[in-house]
Structure 1
Amino acid sequence: MKIKDIVILVSIIGIVLMMVVPLPILLLDVLLIINITLALIILLVSMNTKEALEFSIFPSLLLITTLFRLALNISTTRNILAKHEAGNVVATFGSFVSEGNIVVGLVVFLILVIVQFIVITKGAERVAEVGARFTLDAMPGKQMSIDADLNSGLINEQQARERRRKIEKEADFYGAMDGASKFVKGDAIAGIIILIINLIGGLIIGMTQAGMSFGEASRTFSVLTIGDGLVSQIPALLISTAAGLIVTRSASEGNLASDLTTQLFSYPKLLYIVSGTIFLLGTFTPISIFTTYPIAIILYITARKMQSNLQRKEVENVQMEEEQQIEEVRSPESVISLLQVDPIEFEFGYGLIPLADIQQGGDLLDRIILIRRQCALELGVVVPVIRIRDNIQLKPNEYMIKIKGNMVARGELLLNHYLAMSPGIDDDSISGIETTEPAFGLPAIWIDEAMKERAELSGYTVVDPPSVVATHLTEVIKKHAHELVGRQETKTLVESVKESYPALVDDLIPSMLSIGDVQKVLSKLLREKISVRDLVTILETLADNGGYTKDPEILTEYVRQALSRQITQQYASSGDSLKVITVGPALEKRIAEAVQQSDQGSYLALDPSSSQMIYHRLNEQVNKAIQSGQQPVILTSPTIRMYLRQLLERTMQDIPVLSYSELEPSVEIQSMGVVNL
């Protein structure tokens, strides 16, 4: 433990001991002065904080200082009743403040207690209670605002975490202040009770034990009691004021002094009016002009000076803005910032602005948050921040999705309509504007509100425009996920695994494979819509085989075989069967013979006529499967799977190609057709 920790612990224990151990008069005087000093420090600190969280220890400090004051009250009470004295500090406060008049001292003490208890403490307690309630009620909205800023790219992940942490601290602080205010309230009540006990107890002890007369006992114990009350209530009043300042402070750019001078005296024209009013008050009323005229003159001079300062600042601000604009144009950073390309952009015409405008009921930002979560669960990747902006060059109802600055998809929406997709049997009574569903290319129609219920009864799938664009954006991200995972993103994923599996990552990177090698494997898996969420299994497989080969194609095949359970569950229509299109032995042999080796790895070298024939045969079987309502899946041997995938990369990108080694032994394979030469 550090020295300061030991000092704090000893101080807390000392406060408790003060309640039971008698203190010497000299030590009691020192502690009373320390109490006043501590109260002044707390008040000044609260005045110079910019926001409440800068003094987050205040609730705990309030409890400690209250306990300290009560301990001092007990010590002074013990000395007053036992020794008929309480030290120089108490005697000075009792005689100086009351000016030798006991009634004056009592009235001053009662006024201090009333001001503290009814005005300051009661108000601070109410403000803390309302602040705690409003802070909790506003937490969901603040969280949504942070997520919206994060999705729009205004802040990064670190800034978002800091803002969320600040919101949590604010809720905890105002909740603690709501309870800590009760300490000050109880302290004020205890001060009144202690005053009564000291007066009554002092009179009894003075008259029965010390042999004093009633008058002498009254004078002696009244002065000491009033001094004791004042010396404890003045620090309590200062700390109560500090509590009120803390809970009533909102976030600002300066402390209390700067805010007062900036905000209270920022309107010089109003000071002219006040100056004139005070001048007329001294001229036309019996109030002396020697009292009113100096104040009116000071206000007038202050208003003139403030007005000139404001005019000078306006000129300086204009000049500074012009200089900054010139510097920004000249600086190389102004050009470099234009080179940055956003990973994902969503642009829309002005007619679709209500989709993203929260004030108009738009929930696009919330849907994007859900899309990022969905992609993380299904693909195992963190989708970058999606930049949302309007584009006046687009049609009013048109939107466009870009990946790394290039347009990859677009569509049109009718905000006051619904997109209805036929179940297979069209209903002639359902009429609307014919269109194509943007995500999957299915024929659909836009229908109005009146037609919605009838279409749902007819079996149509009816979707609102926000859901249409959310589905389209999700499918585009899934299709291009392999483009969004670069080396930096791969490093982030690997570091997250390293927190739980440090031995695995240290064994694999960089001794066997580099981050770039791992990124290539992840990209190839995502290109074929294989989730990389089970990153531990992927890295384990790479660690097992990375010592034999660095070829990303071969490493990807090993990883796919290790993910056989996942791949089987992904493509099996039911838990125990999978309908596939099988590649015949002749075609497998033809492909295997066309494989060529090079320094960069192996590749497929087929002549154009053979490639065209294979395309034709495969296309026939795929069309049959689609017509029968089945998802076409091509099954081949492990040795040629990656080469057949390369062959179909451009023409049949969405058709999965699996090998026998990627399927679980328990799954039943049902062949829908055989592709052969």
Structure 2
Amino acid sequence: MPKGLSQLAVPIGVVMIVVMMVVPMPTVLLDMLIAANITIALIVVVVSMNVKRPLEFSSFPALLLVLTLFRLALNISATRLVLVDGYAGKVIEAFGHFVVGGSLIVGIVIFTILIIIQFIVITKGAERVAEVGARFTLDAMPGKQMAIDADLNAGLIDEAEARKRRHEVTAEADFYGSMDGGSKFVKGDAIAAIIITVINLLGGFAVGVFQKGMPAGEAIQAYSLMSIGDGLVSQIPALLLSVATGLMVARASGEGDMGTTVTSQLGAQKRALQVGGGAALALVLIPGLPKLPFLVIGGIVLFLAQRVPSAPDQQAEETETAIAGPAPDSPESLMGEIRVDPLELALSPDLVDLVEAAGGDLLDRVRALRRKIAMETGVIMPPVHTRDDLDLPLSTYVIRVNGVEVARGQAPPGTALAIGEGLEGLPGRAGQEPVFGLEGKWIPAELRHQAELLGATVVDRASVIITHLSEAVRSNAGRLLGREDVRALVEAVRRTHPVVVEELTPALMGLGQVQTVLQALLDEGVSIRDLVRIFEALSLAGKNTSDPDALCEAVRNALGPAIAAQHAEPAGSLPVLTLDPRLENALLESLRPTDQGVQILIDPVRAESLITQASRLADNAEQQGVAPVLVCSPQLRMPLRRLLKLAAPRLPLLSYTEIAECPFRVETLGVVTDAEALAA
């Protein structure tokens, strides 16, 4: 059905139902609408049996209301025709004469039985199940939401799956709440059917006797049978909808439709089928009972039992295994245990309160950190596997990358870290800010305000851990960038710039070479967000060389202004340290190619003197609140970085080419001379 027509179908149908209540209707049209009513009710029952989950038929409560209104409108139209003309169409006439044999007593009895089945048995039970289902669903919502958050934080699901599950939880609560109200429609409809039929019987008798002067017997024959027929015609679809309501609210979660589930579960019980068939055959031995029905039914059940596969014990064992999961020594279980998480945050038992739903917001901050890291570095931070570790000392947390510890810190419960001077008067124990090494004190959390009045900066425990985690991720971003991550980045660029990717990979280099270059950039704190320019630079350089150092330098030259901007001061200057020209020439002459790339081969005394002076100049600048960079020639930049990496890991190295086009004012803070090397 076209979208526009489907949007108008229900509103137009409701309007026509209201019109039916006030406008007389031809008998032919009434017959067609009664047939449509019965057919729609059958369709609803079949759909309610075939859906795998109740949410697949979430429109059922609203549809139940519309169909109830439609059936009441048919009652009104049929009553009008019966009382005015004494005839309401062939369908009602057939139910009034043929179905009940033309007997008013038989019709009343059948109608009463239908009312009892619908009102007392089905509707009452469905109402209770819907009420209990709505209550338990609403009570279970917080627990389900927490379970979704736990799976998301553990990395078992992604953000899209989490949003989908949260939507399903909300939709399920809305559905059962609506079904609780919808069951009241069914109950009210059953009561209305009784009242309408009684009114029709009395009204028809009164019209026949008092208005048309008919004898009492003739009036009953002419009008009452029509009224009973109208009641039966209405109660059959009403009964069907009551059954559908009961099926919807009584459905449990399953993997198949109701028919498949019921037949598979009953068919799996071979012993029960054998006992049932044998019992039916045993009833033949009772004197006076007819033998043929029990022989036929018992024989059919035993035949079906023989068709059921044997070895029920094996099936039960498979069911228990599916519920309990794989055995502890199974390959699936062992693979899950030996898998190394890319990023893990282990907490001592007394720090678990940081991730509890009652008040801990550490996991929420971790999710916010993922976005921040992605915007800064261009790398999608892997999910952080947060868990408790009984082997850790109290108040300790550990950050691991690929199973290897890269950072450790303290966060005593009930405290906050105060950083500043003049804290001697406050109780607590000495502590240290884990990233920048600033001295502080862990003070009781309730003394936060007093510490701030003393001029200290107070940081809560979660912020300390998140800051430490952020620094650990930045420092190890290259290790966290896996081959699958590179493939995902390449595919993302392919969607917007297909020519750039097609020219680079696999024509010039594979994903492994691209990964090596990106890891080298991340190891030096260079953002890889601008993948288009990175791939373009690799395409140009890859035609001439496959050396990783040369490829990395080519990319850095292309990203020069952006790299310089990362280290520029807010005032628009770029603080730099430079090498004395004679020292730089001496270092260039000492370059030698090795299996690990080009290295600076000088004696240890000269190397130590160079490292010491570069570190001292960088520390002096940092004490003045400035973070300098060391600049040198492009050929020397990478080997010098390898030499200074361990002693001065936070000192960035840029080449002259990278700062040549930067829009910032270059401000020289010092010159590395290395007097011993020059004297030699």
Shorter-normalised TM range: 0.7 to 0.9
What residue is the counterpart of 1:347 in the other structure? 346
Alignment map for 1:27-42 (pairs within 5 Å): 32=34, 35-36=37-38, 39=41, 42=44
- Provide the secondary structure at the position in 1 that maps to 2:104: coil
Name the CA shift for 1:112/1:576 in 2 (closer, same or farther; >3 Å).
farther
1:676 aligns with 2:673: yes
Q: Per-residue CA shift, 1:489-535, capped at 9, x if unaligned?
A: 11122223333444433333222332112211221121122222333
Alignment map for 1:340-419 (pairs within 5 Å): 340-359=339-358, 361-419=359-417
Name the CA shift for 1:320/1:574 in 2 (closer, same or farther; >3 Å).
closer
Alignment map for 1:485-524 (pairs within 5 Å): 485-524=481-520
1:615 aligns with 2:619: no
Distance 1:541 1:603 in 2: 24
Q: Per-residue CA shift, 1:122-171, capped at 9, x if unaligned?
A: 95898599679949x947x7445323213224556775465345335436
Distance 1:241 1:190 in 2: 18
- TM-superposed CA distance for 1:485, in Å, is 0.5
Distance 1:330 1:495 in 2: 38
**Equivalent residue in structure 2 for 1:58, among 54, 57, 60:** 60
- TM-superposed CA distance for 1:625, in Å, is 0.7
Distance 2:199 2:321 in 1: 72
- Provide the secondary structure at the position in 2 that maps to 1:409: strand
1:151 aligns with 2:153: yes
* Alpha carbons 2:115, 2:235 under 8 Å: kept: no
Distance 1:174 1:537 in 2: 54
- TM-superposed CA distance for 1:624, in Å, is 1.7
What residue is the counterpart of 1:96 in the other structure? 100
Alignment map for 1:7-22 (pairs within 5 Å): none
| AA at the equivalent of 1:92 | F
Distance 1:455 1:493 in 2: 46
| AA at the equivalent of 1:439 | V
1:480 aligns with 2:484: no
- TM-superposed CA distance for 1:228, in Å, is 1.7
Give the TM-score normalised by the residue count of structure 1: 0.73
Distance 1:333 1:178 in 2: 43
Alignment map for 1:231-246 (pairs within 5 Å): 231-243=233-245, 245-246=247-248
What residue is the counterpart of 2:168 in the other structure? 166
Unaligned runs of 5+ in 1: 263-312
Name the CA shift for 1:190/1:317 in 2 (closer, same or farther; >3 Å).
closer
What residue is the counterpart of 2:291 in the other structure? none
The count of aligned residue pairs is 615
Distance 1:93 1:609 in 2: 114
- TM-superposed CA distance for 1:421, in Å, is 1.2
| AA at the equivalent of 1:528 | E
1:631 aligns with 2:627: yes
**Equivalent residue in structure 2 for 1:592, among 568, 574, 588:** 588
Distance 2:587 2:630 in 1: 15
Distance 1:324 1:487 in 2: 35
- Provide the secondary structure at the position in 2 that maps to 1:399: strand
Distance 1:198 1:324 in 2: 57
Q: Which moved more, 1:624-633 or 1:165-174?
A: 165-174
Unaligned runs of 5+ in 2: 266-311, 675-680
* Alpha carbons 2:51, 2:258 under 8 Å: kept: yes
**Equivalent residue in structure 1 for 2:567, among 548, 564, 571:** 571
* Alpha carbons 1:542, 1:555 under 8 Å: kept: yes
What residue is the counterpart of 2:647 in the other structure? 651
- Provide the secondary structure at the position in 2 that maps to 1:582: strand
Alignment map for 1:214-363 (pairs within 5 Å): 216-217=218-219, 219-243=221-245, 245-247=247-249, 251=253, 328=327, 331-333=330-332, 335-359=334-358, 361-363=359-361
Name the CA shift for 1:599/1:256 in 2 (closer, same or farther; >3 Å).
closer
Name the CA shift for 1:395/1:665 in 2 (closer, same or farther; >3 Å).
closer
Distance 2:67 2:256 in 1: 27
- Provide the secondary structure at the position in 2 that maps to 1:670: strand
| AA at the equivalent of 2:412 | L
- Provide the secondary structure at the position in 2 that maps to 1:84: coil
Name the CA shift for 1:503/1:109 in 2 (closer, same or farther; >3 Å).
farther
Q: Which moved more, 1:179-188 or 1:370-379?
A: 179-188
Alignment identity in percent?
A: 42
- Provide the secondary structure at the position in 2 that maps to 1:531: coil
Distance 1:554 1:362 in 2: 48
1:87 aligns with 2:85: no
Q: Per-residue CA shift, 1:189-224, capped at 9, x if unaligned?
A: 997998799789978997999996787456423322
Q: Per-residue CA shift, 1:599-634, capped at 9, x if unaligned?
A: 986554444344333213312311221232322322
Distance 1:482 1:324 in 2: 40
**Equivalent residue in structure 2 for 1:528, among 524, 527, 537:** 524
- TM-superposed CA distance for 1:571, in Å, is 1.8
| AA at the equivalent of 2:520 | K
Q: Per-residue CA shift, 1:400-452, capped at 9, x if unaligned?
A: 22221222222223102222111xx4344234312322233222212224543
* Alpha carbons 2:561, 2:663 under 8 Å: kept: no
- Provide the secondary structure at the position in 1 that maps to 2:610: helix
Q: Which moved more, 1:16-25 or 1:243-252?
A: 16-25
* Alpha carbons 1:148, 1:366 under 8 Å: kept: no
- Provide the secondary structure at the position in 2 that maps to 1:358: coil
| AA at the equivalent of 1:345 | E
1:667 aligns with 2:664: yes
* Alpha carbons 1:128, 1:174 under 8 Å: kept: no
Q: Per-residue CA shift, 1:523-575, capped at 9, x if unaligned?
A: 11211222223334433433444434333333333333443454344222205
Q: Per-residue CA shift, 1:298-327, capped at 9, x if unaligned?
A: xxxxxxxxxxxxxxx999989998999999
Q: Per-residue CA shift, 1:619-658, capped at 9, x if unaligned?
A: 2311221232322322334443333222222221111122
* Alpha carbons 2:435, 2:468 under 8 Å: kept: yes
